[in-house]
Amino acid sequence: MGKIAFSIWNKRIAPVFDVARHLWIIETAEGRIVGQSERRFATDDTQERVLRLTTLQVEQLICGAITRGSCEALAERGIKVVSFVAGGLEQVIQACLSDSLKDGHLAMPGCCRGKRHGALKHPCREPSEK
């Protein structure tokens, strides 16, 4: 499964990825955690943050709200993003490992229902989340 990064704040998923300062990174093999560590972002610059995740060899990012620009920049670098997630870190990690994040029970408020102003679907959201 590789490396998965969780953007965190106060042991919960950080509300906004674009300004989040901390990352919790887990390394998994056969559905089990084989290593974990905490890392920091030093800047709010989108490209620098994407580069940081790339050099950390992160394959998937689980985060809260994220701007379209950041989401697209991550996708360009081949990093899969599961966004608009809310909840305690442990709870989200368990949901991620059991592949139940897409159920939507840990989605941020208002993110499982109709869209505002009929806008396009968020490019990073899990397809089955809607």
Binding site for another protein (CB under 8 A): 9, 12, 14-16, 18-21, 47, 50-51, 54-55, 64-69, 71-73, 76-77, 83-84, 86, 108-111, 113, 115-117, 119-124
Question: What are the structure tokens assigned to 92, written together?
Answer: 């989200």
Nearer to another protein, 31 or 109 (CB): 109
Using the 8-state DSSP alphabet, how is residue 55 labeled? H
Q: With contact defined as beta carbons under 8 Å apart, do 122 and 110 qualify?
A: no
Given the complex with another protein, which of 32 and 48 has the nearer CB atom?
A: 48
Of the pair 19, 34, the CB lying nearest another protein is at: 19
- Which of 54, 74, 52 shows the shortest CA–CA distance to 63? 74
